[in-house]
Structure 1
């Protein structure tokens, strides 16, 4: 069987290990490789790269892997490894991606691709000039709920779409009396942290692929908890935003309003929910669930604060059935990228798409600091 070698830089980290190694590459390996359009299969062979050899060795032993190293340059110089994948912290990503481009590797990376739009666009241009295939993780598009939503949009269920409202977030413990669920660097802007930098690239690809290009942003970012405790028990000052409230204008006249917060307690069915309203119907969508209310089944509320409302609004929505088996979204996108590399399959989620996400984050922060609405240009090479 043919094989394809994949450098996995940052595979010992939370996302690199759980979503990319364990649930994607190793699952593909255990299923006999990625299937191509002609029915043949190509097996994946990972090379783990990290800073600590003992951690890499333990990971390799646990999952019966042969290849690991702390020497990224040596791995990039080895022709056995065709793909470079990157799961590092954002501050370390650009230098590593530039090395991989210079080495002629095809590249698959987490987002954001860079800390600034200028750097992100430069990566896209360098990759095109070098002729290397490139992809950026767009995992939320592969979630069952959003795939159901995409079907509704494509079917014309909504009629003319009017608005999108989204709530994302949960309470991240401060780290004093209970350990935090996120690493401390997320709350230090000097280390590349902040919820706008983390989430706006997601919102960009969700909005532009389901509803239309983002043409402007008005955002308010804030640090609601100014002091936290890190993984070693040391108190530190949180310098990055932990909540952001934003309004996006989209092509076609759709208004999107998305709240992102690590300082909110959840009172909804899932950690992220979107409501899409259209002239012919509405939908409420989470990571997995999707419920709809068509125009013909919409109740007629009457505002009367003097008496209890007799309408059971939750009961007026209908759950959309799965009607399909939804695999892990990270794995599915990995398979698509591998087919793109191996046989030229489609890949719309490239470095240029990643650069648009970085631009939205950058302009979201500028909007917050200036208190103004920022128009977004089309991004081209």
Structure 2
């Protein structure tokens, strides 16, 4: 006999692109389409979204589109939703400026917390949330989706198998050209380019780089960054020009525990000449690999060619052809959905879960120190965080 365990999840900010596509449609609704999350002991976890936000018409349109009960699955009153004992989890994918206050309310109401990053606009606020959640005894998790990408899962397989030997360096390239919004519509919201609204590529991407580096290669021990705004004038969703006050590119060097060095370029003002929008090259004493969102290619020490520098002759080797594709060796699910499933198991079954609000605070810390490093023109240590 199957036991259906319904978990009601207040989803705040689900009318936004990420909240809607990845968290509602491709995660929770996808789990429902599969009949719920079967945890293997006769129990099926059934996520029940409650859509929360300010635009009631947009929320009702989403509920109607996906067959959710508008009487119980739509609300513009966050306080009322948090006061409902039937709601188990609060999820936040709002803009960063609104997130900290809402999460604090949800913790005070005794809800388990699952949230996008960054968790707050500053380290003090991010740590305060982590401490508040620990004191309240609620479960809490932060989205760290890139760990679940097929390319990085293949990279982790190489790491776990000892393929690299001693890891020497990590080089990351992320970004693409975001149109200014005048002659072509921008593919990112305008608030991303206004620091007063919580925008900027450092606060957006450095939290990602923190958990990728921390999880795969070692804790970040120092950061040296150069941050800039390459495109100072953009046009918003209504076609009005505005000054871009937030950074749109960051060039960072990170020292990792264990001695490896990571260099990661992040830019919304770069044209892509890569196989994927983000790629990491890892070089070790025994081998190297290049991992993107989906693919991973490797070159072992024994198969490494011996190029000779000669600028007077054209290259006779096709260097990309000298790498071997790392096989899938399995089926990869949507990364956001995979992490949602782990968090739901954590809430219902009390299974271990490490990507919590303290991990989220480390991402905020790295972004804060990256901006400070650029402003001060020096390398800064990254102290280890504790509650």
Does the alignment pair 1:94 with 2:100?
yes
Corresponding residue for 1:49?
A: 52
Corresponding residue for 2:315?
A: 309
Distance 2:48 2:348 in 1: 14
Distance 1:115 1:358 in 2: 7
Corresponding residue for 1:36?
A: 39
Q: CA deviation at 1:37?
A: 4.4
Corresponding residue for 1:196?
A: 202
Does the alignment pair 1:63 with 2:66?
yes
Q: TM-score w.r.t. structure 2 length?
A: 0.98
- Computed over aligned residues only, the root mean square deviation of the Cα atoms, in angstroms, reads 0.6
Distance 1:39 1:299 in 2: 54
- Stretches (4+) displaced over 3 A: none
1:202-261 CA distance string (max 9 Å, x none): 000000000000000000000000000000010000000000000000000000000000
Match 1:24 to one of 27, 43, 56: 27
Which SS does the other structure have where 1:221 is aligned?
strand
Is residue 18–residue 93 contact of structure 2 (8 Å, CA) maintained in 1? Answer: yes
Runs of 5+ consecutive residues of structure 2 not aligned to the other structure = none
Matching of residues 1-381 of structure 1 within 5 Å = 1-66=4-69, 67-381=73-387
Q: CA deviation at 1:39?
A: 4.1
Is residue 115–residue 143 contact of structure 2 (8 Å, CA) maintained in 1? Answer: yes
1:16-56 CA distance string (max 9 Å, x none): 10000000010011111112242421211110001011111
1:138-159 CA distance string (max 9 Å, x none): 0000000000000100100000
1:94-140 CA distance string (max 9 Å, x none): 00000000000001000000010000000000000000000000000
Matched residue pairs, number?
A: 381
Runs of 5+ consecutive residues of structure 1 not aligned to the other structure = none
Distance 1:312 1:345 in 2: 48
Is residue 116–residue 142 contact of structure 2 (8 Å, CA) maintained in 1? Answer: yes
Which SS does the other structure have where 2:251 is aligned?
strand
Which SS does the other structure have where 1:372 is aligned?
coil
Which SS does the other structure have where 2:370 is aligned?
helix
Distance 2:56 2:197 in 1: 24
Q: CA deviation at 1:309?
A: 1.8
Q: CA deviation at 1:2?
A: 2.2
Is residue 5–residue 43 contact of structure 2 (8 Å, CA) maintained in 1? Answer: no
Which SS does the other structure have where 1:181 is aligned?
coil
Q: TM-score w.r.t. structure 1 length?
A: 0.99
